[in-house]
Amino acid sequence: MDLLTPLLRDSALTAIFSDTQTVQGMLDFEAALAHAEANCGVIPSEAVTAIVHACRVENLDLTALAQSAANAGNLAIPLVKQLTAVVKDQDQQAARYVHWGATSQDVIDSGLVLQLRQALDASDELLSRLLAVLAQQTERHIATVMPGRTWMQHALPVTFGLKLAGTLDALLRWQQRLREMRGRVLVLQFGGAAGTLASLNEHGPAVAQQLSRELDLSLADTPWHSQRDRLLEVGHWYAGVCGTLGKFANDFSLLMQTEVAEVSEPVVAGRGGSSAMPHKRNPVGCAAILTAVQRTPGLMATLYASQIQQHERALGGWQAEWEVLPELLMLAGGVLEQSIQLVSGMQINEQRMRVNLDITHGLIMAESVTLALAAFVGKQEAHHIVEALCHQALDEQRPLLQLLENDTRIKAHFSSAQLTQLLDPSGATGSADYFVRQVLARYQEQNHDASLSA
């Protein structure tokens, strides 16, 4: 479905998981293996040049590779066969040492880890860009008052800055997790046929150490052919980021509804229109994000199910990861890119937010009045009095201020000016400012170098 890639997978991560890059990752493993084994005296050093020179994706027939994989059961077997033939054309003796001592899963898994390293680098950059624009918007709207909503209903006033800070705070945690997991997941896979490196005899550990240095990957204490927790952790990170940004996109699209109209997506020519209704301005960025996010739970379910792998090498569980994990990462890359565009250019209608604060004619501030009155009559009695006046305001379609001013129990303690002040939403955002500034300080601390360069 390449036609949908610009909508759902338009980020640097998609190119990383192209067929070309997948094959090149496996070839990079083969080239590094030859270097490592020659360094350890396992294969002749004269064989290395021909092998390394052949390990370029343009030397292979990808169409034939794909067709052969259908019978072989994986890409590595026909890849090694083609690679050996290419080497043999240049150096018949060197061809004997292609893929020496390794197994198909070593090639495929390590090639994938090399792709994952690129993907994590690209994701770190995307996330840093998103954090930067989100922090700017959070600071810009630190005092922008709007209705808070619980159970999809007006609750109490909040600030748009606080709403943004919640997402910023969550993404800062995902940034920390990204940095923490790199050492755990960027690990060489090298165990040979059954995870013992038996074909390398006593040279196994030395070759593994040298190979990890060649590829700049960590070396596991044991081969992890059928222990897939590392890949599960990678998938979890991307699915988690998608969940955070899906929540943001969902809230944003609700605020875009015609009846609410507190925010809008960026204005771009040809964006958000309808084929039938000229007046429409649809939240297409939010739709793209939510479309991708809807798919991540199913992909993660497959990764979880794939943890159950048989004995030393798996049948089905390992193979199920091949498309699922890259697809998850490509979708997440699209979510990050769409979110950057959305946050960077979003339009905020502060006037509409103020109008919406007033649509209940003061009811959104009923708690403020209740708490003030409680100082004189107690919390329970104050709640009873104000709740009854709120019901009356709804029944009679009258402003709450008018009923408060005419109620003798209220007038005994508050003037009209005091009641007006109690019903002002701008003075009832509590510790919102404090919370926002805490998150912004965390952002500056965590991204100090990036903020200086920006």
**Residue percentage of the chain with pLDDT more than 70:** 96
pLDDT above 60: residue 280: no
Nearest to 37 by CA among 213, 300, 232: 213
Residue 93 has φ and ψ, to the nearest 5°, of -70, -40
In a domain, 438, yes or no: no
pLDDT above 70: residue 272: no
Among 305, 329, 355, give the residue marking a domain's end.
355
Here the tokens at position 10 are: 């338009």
Residues forming the active site: 274, 313
**Residue percentage of the chain with pLDDT more than 90:** 87
Here the tokens at position 126 are: 């995307």
**Among positive and negative, which fits the CA dihedral 315, 316, 320, 322?**
positive
Q: What is the pLDDT of residues 302-334, one digit of tens each?
A: 999 999 999 998 899 989 999 999 999 999 999
Q: Is the domain of 266 the same as that of 392?
A: no
**b/e for 250-276, b at 16 or more Cβ within 10 A?**
ebbbebbeeeeebbbbeeeeeebeeee
DSSP 61: -
In a domain, 240, yes or no: yes
Q: Which domain holds residue 369?
A: 363-422
Computed over every residue of the chain, the mean pLDDT equals: 93
pLDDT band, very low/low/confident/very high, at 452 (cuts 50, 70, 90): very low
Q: Is the domain of 294 the same as that of 375?
A: no
Q: What is the pLDDT of residues 425-435, one digit of tens each?
A: 988 899 999 99
In a domain, 161, yes or no: yes
Query: Residue 449 has what pLDDT?
Result: 61
Query: Residue 1 has what pLDDT?
Result: 73
Among 329, 355, 381, give the residue marking a domain's end.
355
Long-range contacts formed by 198-201: CB under 8 A, 24+ apart: 199/100, 199/101, 200/37, 200/42, 200/101
> DSSP readout, 213-273?
HHHT-EE-SS--TT--HHHHHHHHHHHHHHHHHHHHHHHHHHHTSTTT--EE----TT-S-
Judged by DSSP in three states, 424 sits in coil
| Interatomic CA distance for residues 217 and 203, integer angstroms | 19
CATH number at residue 399: 1.10.40.30
In a domain, 221, yes or no: yes
- Name the residue with higher pLDDT: 276 or 245: 245
Q: Is the domain of 231 the same as that of 373?
A: no
Q: Is the domain of 381 the same as that of 325?
A: no
Task: Please state the pTM of the whole predicted model.
Answer: 0.92
Q: Are 273 and 358 in contact (CB under 8 A)?
A: no
Mean pLDDT within 234-245: 97
Q: Are 290 and 249 in contact (CB under 8 A)?
A: yes
In a domain, 437, yes or no: no
Mean pLDDT within 340-367: 94
CATH number at residue 138: 1.20.200.10
Contacts of 48 (CB under 8 A, 6+ apart): 34, 35, 38, 94
Q: Is the domain of 50 the same as that of 78?
A: yes
Q: What is the pLDDT of residues 166-199, one digit of tens each?
A: 999 999 999 999 999 999 999 999 999 999 999 9
Q: Is the domain of 117 the same as that of 232?
A: yes
| Interatomic CA distance for residues 84 and 370, integer angstroms | 81
Contacts of 106 (CB under 8 A, 6+ apart): 29, 189, 190, 191, 192, 223
Mean pLDDT within 269-276: 53
Nearest to 227 by CA among 326, 310, 327: 310
In a domain, 442, yes or no: no
Residue 218 has φ and ψ, to the nearest 5°, of -70, 155
pLDDT band, very low/low/confident/very high, at 162 (cuts 50, 70, 90): very high
Q: What is the pLDDT of residues 125-157, one digit of tens each?
A: 999 999 999 999 999 999 999 999 999 999 999
Cα distances (Å, whole numbers) of residue 44 to 55, 93, 214: 18, 10, 17
Lowest mean pLDDT among 51-65, 132-146, 271-285: 271-285
Q: What is the pLDDT of residues 102-124, one digit of tens each?
A: 999 999 999 999 999 999 999 99
In a domain, 300, yes or no: yes
Here the tokens at position 226 are: 């059928």
Q: Is the domain of 141 the same as that of 237?
A: yes
Q: Is the domain of 313 the same as that of 403?
A: no
Q: Is the domain of 79 the same as that of 211?
A: yes
**Which burial class, exposed, middle or buried, applies to 16 when counting CB atoms under 10 A from its CB (0-12, 13-18, 19+)?**
buried
Q: Is the domain of 405 the same as that of 265?
A: no
Q: Is the domain of 277 the same as that of 382?
A: no
In a domain, 452, yes or no: no
Mean pLDDT within 280-289: 87
Number of compact structural domains in the chain: 2
Identify the residue whose tokens are 């998981």: 17
Q: Is the domain of 377 the same as that of 228?
A: no
